[in-house]
Amino acid sequence: MEKKPHFSRREFPPREVSSVSLALLLAAVLLLNALLYLYLNKLYTSSGRAETDPSLCPFGYFKLGAVKNCSPWLSCEAINREVRKLKCVGEGAVKKVFLSEWKENKVVLSQLTNSELKEDFLHGLKMLKALQSKHVVRLLGYCEQQFTILTEYHPLGSLRGLNETLHIPKYKGMNTWHRRLMLAIDYVSIIRYLHSSPLGTLVMCDSNDLDKVLSQYLLTSDFHILVNDLDALPLVNRSAGRLVKCGHRELRGEFVAPEQRWPYGEEVPFEDDLMPPYDEKTDIWKIPDVSNFFLGHIEGSDIVRLHLFDIHTACKKKDPADRPSAQEVLDTYRKVLTLLIREAAMPGTREML
């Protein structure tokens, strides 16, 4: 009987393969972490109080478009002489807004429409001047005597149009969980800035429903968020025992925080004098609802929501003292972004091995 030839298969030593794989994996992870660090370092600024944009001019000055030099805020005379109204683009309870032109640049001119609300208008101007930073729309000039404010124009408008903008072919590439989470981070960054502003702890009071919140913010052409309307921004001063109330009318609905609702039941008619004041934690209560709008319903957004579940649950604590600070929420959002970017990059790393 003929014997079948016996072929012995040569095998590489298992330890050698394992060592090479481990070395490649380690190198890939180190490279990934280095790239991730550089990327996120660009996205995040320090958590200092000023948070000024290096491109901003000194106080009282601005620069617009490609112009390199800073110009002083436009005065009443300059606004009347050099700014030309084009069309009305919006009107609220306090002011009317006009798309305008200044030296071939599109700008926004806001004018008081209700003289009874001039204090609100002037308060908004005061806040706009004092809070100029990377979080706030750029002030170009003002005229207190004529109750006029001139600011930078952003063609994408307020955040109310975000979903419509993301369906425009030009911007469809922005409609990702990553970009949407970045917008939520921008929003929480603004809340954090207001809560630790140069003026003290400020509360965003024009926020009684989602639509009202979205109308207060602008979407820039490079897909960042700026706060635009600062008319209702009262100051909390705990050391002086000073809390706030957002208006003098009864607030209802699940969007506003529990402490903003009338606490004495329907059998007791609402009286503003009996309504207890509250602090900045009302803004924290609203963060999950606003972020849910930002995240939308696209591929990956439910995974983001899952990672944010615990911090959002904490934001919805009934007792304001139990809710996290805006800084804590922001830190969590950034950690989730870092984690998800790393997880998204890992499959590509595995293919390299």
Identify the pLDDT of residue 92: 83
Q: Which two tokens stand for residue 263?
A: 């606490």
Contact assessment for residue 235 and residue 204, using Cβ atoms and an 8 Å cutoff = no
Q: Collect all residues with Cβ–Cβ distance below 8 Å to 323 and sequence separation of at least 6.
A: 281, 284, 285, 314, 315, 316, 317
pLDDT, tens only, 78-128: 999 999 999 999 888 889 999 999 999 999 999 999 888 999 999 999 999
Query: CA 187 → CA 93, 139, 181, 224, distances in Å?
Result: 24, 20, 10, 9
Residue 351 pLDDT greater than 70, yes or no: no
- Does 34 score more than 80 pLDDT? no
Best mean pLDDT range from 12-16, 41-45, 62-66, 232-236: 232-236
What would the mean pLDDT of 32-43 be, rounded to a whole number? 55
For residues 290, 296, 301 and 307, what is the CA-based torsion angle, rounded to 10 degrees?
A: 10
Pull the structure tokens for residue 256.
């506003």
* pLDDT at residue 66 in the model: 77
Distance between CA atoms of residues 61 and 224, nearest Å: 22
pTM score of the predicted model = 0.84
Q: Are 70-153 and 154-345 the same fold in CATH?
A: no
**Residue 56 pLDDT greater than 70, yes or no:** yes
pLDDT above 80 for 214: yes
Please give the pLDDT value at position 46. Answer: 39
The two structure tokens encoding residue 340: 């998800």
- Strands 235-236 and 71-72, bridge-based pairing: unpaired
Domain residue ranges in the chain:
70-153, 154-345
User: What CATH number was assigned to the domain covering residues 70-153?
Assistant: 3.30.200.20
- pLDDT above 90 covers a percentage of the chain that reads 75
Q: What integer best gives the mean pLDDT of the chain?
A: 88
* Residue reference for tokens 């805006």: 326
For range 51-72, the mean pLDDT: 81
Rg (CA), the chain: 26
Query: Residue holding tokens 């071939």?
Result: 104
Report the SS3 class of residue 346. Answer: helix
Look up residue 192 and give its two tokens.
Answer: 């954090």
- Weakest-pLDDT range from 53-57, 79-83, 211-215, 252-256: 53-57
- For residue 249, the model assigns a pLDDT of 94
State both tokens at 10. 């040569």
Top-level CATH class of 154-345? mainly alpha
| Spatial distance between the Cα atoms of 142 and 148, rounded to a whole number of angstroms | 5
| Cβ–Cβ < 8 Å for 181, 294 | yes
Question: Given pLDDT bands bounded at 50, 70 and 90, which one contains residue 42?
Answer: low
> What would the mean pLDDT of 62-73 be, rounded to a whole number?
88
The region of weakest confidence among 3-17, 20-34, 199-213 is 3-17
Counting residues of the chain whose pLDDT is more than 70, the rounded percentage is 82
- Rounded to an integer, the average pLDDT of 306-324 is 98
